[in-house]
């Protein structure tokens, strides 16, 4: 009997040959023939059982092989999809890298322009600050001159006030003398 099982890379070969020599003496002995026949039957039954087990194992291995083949095909398809996704992501990464580079250059240019603009504003602010300082000095000088002028006017007003007081006293004295003189004339009359 020769059996061969192939499945999922597993190969089982079993060859079993048995020969029993039957002599004329054995052939004439029915008990001996019966014993040999029973042995053959036991061996045949064992081989049939073993053949059934191997057939079942072969069927299971064939099913496993089919399952693995389907899984292999599915994984191969998934791999193709993932490979395409990777290629798409690589392309997108390349595009984004280009955009990042462009944005970096634009940012550097903007910063440079902002610095120049700020420098221009700083210069303008410096010039305006100088103008402001000049105007403040002029205002301070004008205020100082106004204060001096006001002080001069106050002094002049004070002097005029003193003159006015002096004139008032003189007038009062003159009026008093005139009144006395008029009283003296009235007495004479």
User: Tens digit of pLDDT for each residue in 146-157?
Assistant: 888 877 778 888
| 3-class secondary-structure state, position 11 | strand
The reported pLDDT for the residue numbered 97 is 95
Cβ-proximal residues to 64 (8 Å cutoff; 6+ apart), any chain: 7, 8
Assess if residue 101 is contained within a domain. Answer: yes
pLDDT category at 78 given cuts 50, 70, 90 is very high
Give residue 100's domain range: 29-126
Are the C-beta atoms of 118 and 126 separated by less than 8 Å?
A: no
Number of Cβ atoms within 10 Å of the Cβ of 32: 14
Assess if residue 145 is contained within a domain. Answer: no
Q: Which residue has the higher pLDDT, 17 or 74?
A: 74
Assess if residue 179 is contained within a domain. Answer: no
pLDDT category at 46 given cuts 50, 70, 90 is very high
pTM of this structure: 0.38
Assess if residue 5 is contained within a domain. Answer: no
Bridge-based pairing state of the strands 10-15 and 2-7: antiparallel
In this predicted structure, the answer to whether residue 24 has a pLDDT above a threshold of 50 is yes
Assess if residue 6 is contained within a domain. Answer: no
Structurally, how many domains does the chain consist of?
1
Assess if residue 9 is contained within a domain. Answer: no
In this predicted structure, the answer to whether residue 166 has a pLDDT above a threshold of 60 is yes
In this predicted structure, the answer to whether residue 39 has a pLDDT above a threshold of 70 is yes
Q: Which H helix or E strand runs over 116?
A: helix 30-188
């Amino acid at each position: 009997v020769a059996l061969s099982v192939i499945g999922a890379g597993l190969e089982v070969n079993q060859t079993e040959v048995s020969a029993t020599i039957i002599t004329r003496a054995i052939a004439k002995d029915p008990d001996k023939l019966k014993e040999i026949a029973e042995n053959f039957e036991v061996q045949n039954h064992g081989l049939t059982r073993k053949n059934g087990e191997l057939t079942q194992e072969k069927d299971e291995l064939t099913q496993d092989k089919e399952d693995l083949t389907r899984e292999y095909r599915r994984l191969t398809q998934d791999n193709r999809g993932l490979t395409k996704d990777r290629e798409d992501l690589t392309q997108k990464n390349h595009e984004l890298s280009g955009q990042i580079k462009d944005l970096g250059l634009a940012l550097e240019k903007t910063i440079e322009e902002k610095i120049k603009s700020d420098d221009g504003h700083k210069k303008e602010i410096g010039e305006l600050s100088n103008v402001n300082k000049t105007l403040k000095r002029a205002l301070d000088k004008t205020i100082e001159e106004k204060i001096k002028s006001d002080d001069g006017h106050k002094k002049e007003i004070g002097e005029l006030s003193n003159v006015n007081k002096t004139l008032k006293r003189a007038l009062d004295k003159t009026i008093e003398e005139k009144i006395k003189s008029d009283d003296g004339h009235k007495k004479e009359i």
